Amino acid sequence: MVYALVGWLSFRRHSAYLAASIGATVSNTFFGFLRAYILIAVWKYKPDLGGYDVLDAITFSFLTQALIGPVQIFGGLDLAQRVRTGDVAIDLHRPADLQAWWLADDLGRAAHAFLSRGFAPLAAGWLVFGIVLPGPAQGAAFLLSLLLAVLVGFGMRYLVALAVFWIHDARGVEAIIRSCALFLSGMLMPLVAFPGAVGAVVQALPWAALIQVPADVYLGKRQGWDLLAAYAFQAGWALALLLLGRALTRAAHRRLVIQGG
Amino acid sequence: MVSTWLLLARTWTRAALQYPATLAMLSAGVVISTSLDLLTIVIVFLHVPRFGGFEPAGVMYLYGGAHIAFALSNVLIGSADRLGEHIRTGNFDTMLIRPVHPLVQLATEDFSPRKVARLVPSCLVLGWGISRLDLSPGDLLLTALMIVNGTVLFCALWVLAAAAQFVLLDAAQATHVITWGGEFTVQYPMSLYAREFLYAVTFVVPLAFVNWQPSLYVLGVPDPLGLPGFVRFLGPVATALLCLVAAAAWRTGLRHYRSTGS
Amino acid sequence: MIQLSEVSKTFPVRQKTGRLRRGRTLVTAVDKIGFEVSPGEFVGYLGPNGAGKSTTIKMLTGILSPSSGRVRVAGLDPSRRRTELALRLGVVFGQRTTLWWDLPLRDSFALIRHLYKVDQRRFAARLAELTELLDLGPFLGTPVRQLSLGQRMRGDLTAALLHSPALLVLDEPTIGLDVVSKATVREFLARINAEEGTTVLLTTHDLGDIERLCRRVMVIDHGRVAFDGTLDELRATAPADRTLIVDLAGDGVLAGLPDGVRLVRREGPRSWLAVPPDVSAASVVADVARACDVADIALREPDIEDVVTRLYRGSPAPA
């Protein structure tokens, strides 16, 4: 199938940038340490904050650094650039679905990012702090959650990329959305540490599905029916965002046909 | 060199102003992302009364000082970070054939006034911290000197990071550890970190002299490493040494520069 | 203006030597090159891709420092005194612009005036002059990214000449240009060289540039100078067949071809004959005219492209 090939080619393309992966991994791992020390200071004082213990908090720091690559929390979609330059017209006239094409491409990228950049931060955290490592069942549960997180992340970045069709110069919008994503996903501070109603709200937003939920699954905080609820939460947002993306793709297509790019 | 920097920065600013809405949004993005760091600190203080042994005012003093120094250095020379990219595109060759020091050109390439926006939340935070602390005029003077010294120190780190990119090229992101990672490190009280790490950021990459050491003096807090009192004032020495290292690294990198492809 | 002696440039290259092992090998891009260019010369620098052309240019402009040997440009060691040299040097890369992408052409020029410290009066006069020569007027206010390739190249040429450099180095300036733009650029370069005495060093793959502009040609291959001389000498080094085009009157038959002359192509009454360098064209014409009824006859000198192709292939010149 063509989409499987697109995904595989994307994986291969990203494999060519070994040095870039190493550079990013060094940086991701270093920040993992800094974030761990900050959380240690908080959890030493409140050892069961948000249902986490100190080791959970430390694990959270390194795990979420490992997720930066696959979930692409800092980046956008290359599609945005193609919309900007007008090259997207070529993509839209291919006998393939634009969204599915880019989803396949993004899954290939995410798989590569996870394999190349996912393990070093965890290994460093394990060596220095002895962070939590999941058993096989837990690990499998986490991988499914990670896949859903990648889908949600793609859903959001796809919408931002298509927004370029309507917003003349979207760089500013992208910057703001990125900053918010960082905070609302739990990258800066676990969402479990957010107070009361604010905490409840941020945990219901789609960004929670990117980082906080996979981390909770990894740490074994979601078990049994609760695990299914976590999946349902992620899958629900993924579906909603992807459907919205489809609607937007159709609108973009119409716009392109009318205005000729 | 200064006048050339100003000229190039002004020209790029004019180019950026052609898209005022984008510039406003980008500036807002910068302010928001900096403010979210602050929100993180606020959340920390919801749970703990003291962070790294400091009350909110002390933490904000450290945070503000660190961020102002970093923001200033970022305005001055932060774009040097993109050397790897300029080498890949061949743009760096163009810089080398102009009669201006390549670092000045790197520093101003694509200069955007949005970087200045970073200063807004940082200054507010430092102001708030100072208003809560009982500082003497001497302390305030020392604070100003600390920021100047911190700015120069960060500038040296940008140059060092750029020099490393001559070798690292595609792995340029690893150099973020000493620049963006440096900012992240010094924005919190360093007493949070492990002793080994603290030694490393004092004696290897002297980040502790951006704000930590002088702040210990201003805030009247003992050094967790127990270093003697005169170390609080060694900032300029550390900065001077780092500048020498950065200059040597830059020169070595440039000598070994191999232009790309055709 | 330019002096190179025994100049080499080697790059260490990491290569896979085994399944996991990696060895470092030295690749020699330029191998003990030596040549001189005097003020006022117009020199074409030719060579196939990867021959060391760009590496030489980059050493001349101070972008790369040589691994060994001595380079002097305008009396300066380029890599050590790059900034000083930049003031006496104009450089144009055909593949990329030295202008600022987002700035209007006029602002780019104003910046260059400051960077090169050209005083306002001289700058105004020079810009007016170049604007007229290159017809920049219509797009002076356009950001560089919106210019066509030809317009951009004219902008780049102006930028390189605003400070009236003594030496102009051009790396494939006509690449990708349409016929009209090419002609404009060539005419302009010839004029700058003739009227202002600017020394010009030009690398190109377009032999039309060489034929139209260069009194002296250097061919570099495998990092060494394979040829250095005039265009005519170049032709003589690797002589190629001339072509005789014969139109017969009526439906006569071509006859009387002397030994060594081959019939290459035939279309209706027209025939193309290949005349080897050692056969006199005049005698061939005489022979053919004697043997059959000729309506018209024309002789074409060998294409410089044929010559250079043979030189690149290293085919030995017949004695």
Answer yes or no: is pLDDT of C244 > 90.
Answer: no
pLDDT at A253: 83
Rounded to an integer, what distance in angstroms lies between the CA atom of residue C157 and that of residue C177?
Answer: 14
Answer yes or no: is pLDDT of C315 > 60.
Answer: no
**What does the mean pLDDT of chain C come to?**
83
What are the tens digits of pLDDT across the range B63-103? 999 999 999 999 999 889 899 889 888 889 989 989 989 99
Render the burial of B193-221: b for 16+ CB within 10 Å, e for the rest: beeeebeebbeebbbbbbbbbbbbbbbeb
In a domain, C163, yes or no: yes
Q: Do C62 and B94 touch (CB under 8 A)?
A: no
DSSP state of B19: S
In a domain, C6, yes or no: no
The two structure tokens encoding residue A139? 């690990």
**Chain B contact present for C24, CB below 8 A:** no
DSSP codes, B150-210: HHHHHHHHHHHHHHHHHHHGGGGGGGGGTTHHHHHHHTS-GGGS-HHHHHIIIIIS-GGGT
Q: Domain coordinates of chain A in residue numbers?
A: 2-253
Q: Which of C236, C256, C275 is the last residue of a domain?
A: C236
pLDDT at C272: 84
Answer yes or no: is pLDDT of C241 > 90.
Answer: no
Residues of B in contact with A22 (CB under 8 A): 171, 174
**What does the mean pLDDT of chain A come to?**
90
Q: Which of C236, C262, C277 is the last residue of a domain?
A: C236
**Chain A contact present for B174, CB below 8 A:** yes
pLDDT at C102: 78
Q: Do A195 and B46 touch (CB under 8 A)?
A: yes
Q: Name the band, by pLDDT with cuts 50, 70 and 90, for residue C65.
A: confident
What are the tens digits of pLDDT across the range C48-60? 777 788 888 889 9
Q: Do B47 and A193 touch (CB under 8 A)?
A: yes
Same domain for C92 and C166, yes or no, is yes
- 3-state DSSP assignment of residue B72: helix
Q: Measured between CB atoms, which of B25, B30, B47 is closest to A46?
A: B47
* Residue in chain A lying closest to B44 (CA): A42
Range of the domain at C258: 241-301
pLDDT at A201: 95
C and A interact (at least 3 Cβ pairs within 8 A): no
Answer yes or no: is pLDDT of C318 > 50.
Answer: no
Which stretch of A66-80, A174-188, B63-77, C274-288 has the lowest confidence by average pLDDT?
C274-288
* Residue in chain B lying closest to A38 (CA): B192
Long-range Cβ contacts of A95-98 (<8 Å, 24+ apart): A96/A2, A96/A3, A98/A249
Same domain for C283 and C171, yes or no, is no
Same domain for C274 and C215, yes or no, is no
State what percent of residues in chain A have pLDDT above 70: 97
Residues of A in contact with B168 (CB under 8 A): 19, 23
Q: Name the band, by pLDDT with cuts 50, 70 and 90, for residue A254.
A: confident
pLDDT at B259: 75
Same domain for C232 and C246, yes or no, is no
**Chain A contact present for B32, CB below 8 A:** yes
What are the tens digits of pLDDT across the range A81-138? 888 877 888 888 788 889 999 999 999 999 999 999 999 999 999 999 999 999 899 9
**Chain B contact present for C67, CB below 8 A:** no
**Chain B contact present for C100, CB below 8 A:** yes
Same domain for C123 and C230, yes or no, is yes
Q: Name the band, by pLDDT with cuts 50, 70 and 90, for residue C304.
A: low
Answer yes or no: is pLDDT of A242 > 70.
Answer: yes
From residue A26, alpha-carbon distances to A7, A29, A62, A121, B174 in Å are 26, 5, 12, 8, 6
Render the burial of A109-121: b for 16+ CB within 10 Å, e for the rest: bbbbbbebbbebb
Answer yes or no: is pLDDT of C222 > 90.
Answer: no
Which one is predicted more confidently, B199 or C285? B199
**Chain A contact present for B135, CB below 8 A:** no
**d(CA A173, nearest CA chain B) in Å:** 6
Same domain for C95 and C215, yes or no, is yes
Answer yes or no: is pLDDT of C316 > 60.
Answer: no
Could you tell me which residues come within 8 angstroms of residue C227 by beta carbon, excluding any fewer than 6 positions away? C217, C218, C219, C234, C237, C311
Same domain for C271 and C214, yes or no, is no
**d(CA A1, nearest CA chain B) in Å:** 33
* Residue in chain C lying closest to B99 (CA): C83
Length of chain A as a residue count: 261
State what percent of residues in chain A have pLDDT above 90: 64
Residues of A in contact with B56 (CB under 8 A): none
Answer yes or no: is pLDDT of C202 > 70.
Answer: yes
Q: Name the band, by pLDDT with cuts 50, 70 and 90, for residue A197.
A: very high
* Residue in chain B lying closest to A31 (CA): B181
What are the tens digits of pLDDT across the range C71-98? 999 988 988 888 889 999 999 988 888 8
Same domain for C88 and C205, yes or no, is yes
pLDDT at B184: 92
Q: Measured between CB atoms, which of A22, A31, A45 is closest to B47?
A: A45
* Residue in chain A lying closest to B33 (CA): A179
Same domain for C253 and C127, yes or no, is no
Same domain for C108 and C209, yes or no, is yes
Same domain for C115 and C211, yes or no, is yes
* Residue in chain B lying closest to C55 (CA): B262
Residues of B in contact with C103 (CB under 8 A): 11, 15
Answer yes or no: is pLDDT of C212 > 80.
Answer: yes
Q: How many domains does chain C have?
A: 2
B185-207 average pLDDT score: 93
Q: Measured between CB atoms, which of B15, B96, B101 is closest to C63?
A: B96
Q: Which chains touch C (3 or more CB pairs under 8 A)?
A: B
Residues of A in contact with B43 (CB under 8 A): 189, 193-195
pTM for the predicted model, two decimal places: 0.86
